[in-house]
Structure formats: structure tokens, C-alpha cells
Amino acid sequence: MQRLTFLILMGLAGHTLAANEKPFEPEMVAIKAGQFIMGSNHWKSTSPEHTVSVKAFKMGKYEVTVKEFAQFVNATNHKAPRQCIQMAGNPWFASMAGSWNANTLSRSRFEPVTCIGPKDAEAYIAWMAKETGKKYRLPTEAEWEYAHRAGSTHKYPFGNNEALACRYGNIADRSAEAAFKRDYDGLDSKSHVGVAPCDDKSDYASIVGMYEPNAFGLHDTLGNISEFVQDCMKPDYTGAPADGSAVVETKCAARANRGGNWHWEGWAAYRRGGAPDDFVGALEGFRVALDSDGSDDGKANSAPSAFALELAAEQQKEREKRSKRAEIPAS
């Protein structure tokens, strides 16, 4: 039986934040300036390999969650999409009624927000910037790959062994395969996306921060959901900027996304995806970036926010839940 739609009842009538109410400001990780080889000559879309110099910036430690996006909708009465490309069985995905807070695969306010498009992500970011006075934005594609690699030149930030992928990201593994078969009338994922040789005990999207971070301290860049970036999607890197800036156009026909998701095996660090700029699906979300002069890199963080404490409690509940699930052996 297909999973029931999860509806978050959070009082979504539009209103502005109260005088003493502040937005859940994303926890940010300082990324130092550096240089790296972007792309790979193995695929046309990631060719040619090219050297990129990235300025210091900050990036969200986690993907933006349903709970965070709800506060934005509450404050602005933002009209988010009500139709979303979601898991449908056979064929795999179809456009169905659904939204950021009511879709077939949501079950926690601390999962990444999906069933939104790039323009909805940018609306959230513009609101966050206005409320905080900080210049929040989407990361550029070069910044995203640089931050995801975290100094690694291997296929994955942790090396080349895919069997370790379930430690670092929520990808199409044995639990995901079992969930597809259970919830969608025996749907077999092996021929469609493949199955990673490991088991993270998570079926679909996961609460953020459940997997080990990369060397820069970022969580879930390997999988969970794909992430929008600023750049328009181009066929390859011919003429791509060398300074880490975004490829932007007045009318962006397709938007790049990075990072893979729970539906696909672990993406190589250089792999990229794209979709029409008005595409709305259950596999795509975002995290934020912020300009930085590097002066506060390495400084101790302030006391955990109320949001961070609540997230930590939900993560612990999820760890306990997964600890009781038997690992699915290789078939």
C-alpha cells in the first residue's frame, strides 16, 4: 500500500512575525577560500575539467526543513505550488496534488522541504535576508561542488568505496529498495536506479543531520534530496566562470541541482542534474549560502538555538528507531 499523505497542521494563515519572534536562522558552516578542479571529463555534461577559485563563504549545515519553511509561509502567506511530481508506482513518478506540507513522502517537519521550485526557495531566502539583514542566497554550482568535495579528489568526499556511502548520505540502498517493493506493489528498483551495497535503515527522505558530515562539517550533501543552486543548467562547462560565480541568464530555461537524493545511488562529487526552472518535485529542495569575508572562520558557535535543540531531540528519536530495525542483507 502506498504511504499515506502526511499533513502538517501548523496554522498556515498568513501573518507577520510577532515583535519578539525571530525566524529560525539556518546554522551555517564557514567555508574557507580555496581552489579546486571542478567537473570530470568522464561525462560531457561535466566537461571540461577546469580550475575554479572560490572565495570564502558560508553554507547551511543542513538542508532547509519543512519546519523552517512553514515559518516563512506563516509570516508571508506565500502561495507555494499545490501540484508536485511524486512517487506514483508504475510509472515511478507522476504529477499529483501535493505541496511542501502535504505530499506522499513527507512524515517529519525536520525532513528537507520539497515539492517547491527554485523560485519558492529564492522567496524564502529573500524573506530570511529581509528579516535578519544578512545577504542570504542560494549557493553557486561551483561553491556547492567545492563545499561538497571538502578537499577530496575522489569519487565521493569520503573516498571511492560505495559500500561506505550509507554512513554519509541517504541514498538508494537496501532499505529504499524494500520500501519501494512494500509500498508500490512490488516495484523493483534494481533495473531503474540500482541499489547501493549498504543499508542505512531509512526508507525515503530522512530527518536532516542523521549521517556523518563531510570534512567541512556539512551534512547530507551526498544524498537525501537534490539541491537547487543559482546556476542555469548548461550542456557542459564550456566558458564556465573560473571565479566560483554562477551562470545566470535573464530567462533561465533549466536550473542546475546537485547532490543526488534517496531515490538514486550515491552521486559522484562532480555529477550534476537539471530541470526546468518551473519544475516542482518531491526529490528537490535547497540549502542556503551567505557571503563571508573569512574573518569569523573558526570562531566558536553561540549557544544552540531552540530549533537546534528540537532537531537534536528528533534526531535521537530517529536513531533509536533505526537501531531497532534489522539490517537488510544483500540479496
Examine residue 302 and state whether it is found in any structural domain, yes or no. no
Mean pLDDT (the chain) is 91
Classify residue 278: in a domain, yes or no: yes
Amino acid at 160: N
145: in domain = yes
Is 146 inside any structural domain?
Answer: yes
Q: Is 272 inside a domain boundary?
A: yes
pLDDT, residue 331, reads 74
pLDDT band at 91 (very low <50, low <70, confident <90, very high): confident
For a pLDDT cut of 90, what percent of the chain falls above it? 78
Residues 38-72: tens digit of each pLDDT: 999 999 999 999 999 999 999 999 999 999 999 99
For residue 230, being part of any structural domain is answered with yes
Residues 204-256: tens digit of each pLDDT: 999 999 999 999 999 999 999 999 999 999 999 999 999 999 999 988 999 99
Number of folded domains in the chain? 1
CA distances from 91 to 1, 36, 87, 187, 191 (A): 16, 40, 9, 9, 13
pLDDT, tens digit, 9 for 90 and up, residues 229-238 = 999 999 999 9
pLDDT of residue 18: 52
Residues β-bridged to residue 94: 86
Run of H or E residues at 41: none
In a domain, 150, yes or no: yes
Residues of the chain with pLDDT > 70: what percent? 91
Q: In a 10 Å sphere around its CB, with 0-12 CB exposed, 13-18 middle and 19+ buried, how is residue 91 labelled?
A: exposed
Note the pLDDT tens digit of each residue in 266-285. 999 999 999 999 999 999 99
Is 306 domain-assigned?
Answer: no
pLDDT by residue (tens digit) across 2-36?
A: 443 444 433 333 344 554 568 899 999 999 999 99
Q: What per-residue confidence (pLDDT) applies to 176?
A: 93
CATH number, position 181: 3.90.1580.10
User: What's the rounded mean pLDDT across residues 178-184?
Assistant: 91
Nine cell digits for residue 77: 502567506
Phi–psi pair at 178, nearest 5 degrees: -65, -35
Expressed as residue numbers, the domain containing 54 is 27-293
| Cα separation, 227 vs 144, whole angstroms | 9
Sign, CA dihedral 157-124-11-27, equals: positive
